[in-house]
């Protein structure tokens, strides 16, 4: 009994730390980040995207900025940390830097959707406190994308969005709201292809490694856990009041593919 209490307490302490240090943030290419939310951008925290900070706060236009240079047709690896949370989908979109404050611009230019745990998992497979393969683990997750051929030379912005993730604050069968990050890149050439590439879905994760599906909690539809037009009302001494999370409670994990988008 004591061991169980200590285990849960440890998970809660870890969760409190993570609320301030970041959940499932884009790691590479380097994200814009922000100051207000310590680099994170969670819809439940009041950060409504489409990026972790607006283009006016991006350092990409500074002559001293180090921006990743790519060419059309290049394949780049996108990385993010599992941050001790299982499940959900990662959607990757890319538009011009000038349009990077527009949700609609990213919605129209989705490149790829993959499982959040596409090649990462819980550290201890025997830990079933919150369900199979739902325990802690901070391994790096990744996928590759191709730089679209119909984007012009100059600054472009990659949007990373996580939705359908599970296990909020050591509470079994709860789901997270959406999280967003953006990275600014510079296109310096490459073959032009004026036909926009079709979005790709690539399934397979820690739970279903050989199936073209993902495990997720809550919703598989972008926008349903964005806490639209709602903002937290923080109370002194109550850390949980800093967020509107969780998005859903008492929702066991599901198996499926991403649903159609809402924000067109």
pLDDT in tens, the chain (264 residues): 444 443 444 444 344 333 333 344 899 999 998 988 888 999 999 999 999 999 999 999 998 999 999 999 999 999 999 999 999 999 999 999 999 999 999 999 999 999 999 999 999 999 999 999 999 998 999 999 999 999 999 999 999 999 999 999 889 999 999 999 999 999 999 999 999 989 999 999 999 999 999 999 999 999 999 999 999 999 998 888 999 999 999 999 999 999 965 433
Domain for residue 246, yes or no?
A: yes
Sequence length of the chain is 264
Taking the model in full, what pTM does it have?
0.89
- How many structural domains compose the chain? 1
What phi, psi does 85 have (nearest 5°)?
-125, 140
Domain for residue 23, yes or no?
A: yes
Domain for residue 170, yes or no?
A: yes
Q: Which three-class secondary structure state does DSSP give residue 21?
A: helix
Domain for residue 262, yes or no?
A: no
Domain for residue 261, yes or no?
A: no
Domain for residue 37, yes or no?
A: yes
My answer on whether omega of the bond before 246 falls inside 30° of 0, hence cis, is yes
Query: Rounded CA gap, 237 and 239, in Å?
Result: 6
Tell me which residue range forms the domain holding 156: 2-256
Domain for residue 179, yes or no?
A: yes
Domain for residue 34, yes or no?
A: yes
Cβ density class 58-80: b for 16+ within 10 Å, e for less: bebeeeeeebeebebeeebebeb
């Amino acid at each position: 009994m004591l061991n169980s209490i200590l285990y849960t307490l440890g998970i809660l302490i870890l969760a409190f730390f993570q609320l301030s240090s970041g959940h499932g943030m884009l790691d590479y290419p380097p994200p814009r980040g922000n100051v207000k939310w310590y680099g994170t951008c969670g819809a439940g925290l009041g950060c409504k995207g489409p990026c972790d900070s607006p283009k006016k706060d991006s350092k990409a236009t500074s002559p001293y900025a180090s921006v990743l240079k790519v060419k059309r047709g290049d394949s780049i690896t996108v990385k993010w940390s599992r941050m001790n949370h299982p499940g959900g989908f990662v959607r990757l979109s890319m538009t011009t830097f000038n349009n990077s404050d527009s949700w609609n611009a990213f919605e129209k230019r989705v490149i790829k959707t993959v499982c959040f745990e596409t090649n990462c998992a819980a550290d201890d497979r025997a830990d079933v406190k919150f369900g199979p393969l739902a325990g802690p683990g901070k391994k790096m997750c990744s996928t590759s994308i191709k730089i679209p051929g119909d984007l012009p030379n100059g600054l472009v912005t990659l949007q990373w969005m996580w939705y359908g993730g599970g296990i909020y604050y050591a509470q079994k069968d709860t789901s997270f709201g959406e999280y967003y990050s953006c990275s600014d890149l510079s296109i310096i050439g490459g073959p032009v292809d004026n036909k926009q590439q079709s979005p790709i879905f690539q399934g397979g994760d820690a739970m279903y490694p050989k199936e073209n599906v993902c495990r997720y909690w809550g919703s598989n539809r972008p926008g349903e856990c964005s806490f639209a037009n709602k903002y937290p009302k923080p109370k002194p001494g109550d850390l949980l009041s800093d967020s509107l999370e969780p998005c859903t409670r008492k929702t066991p994990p599901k198996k499926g593919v991403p649903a159609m988008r809402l924000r067109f």
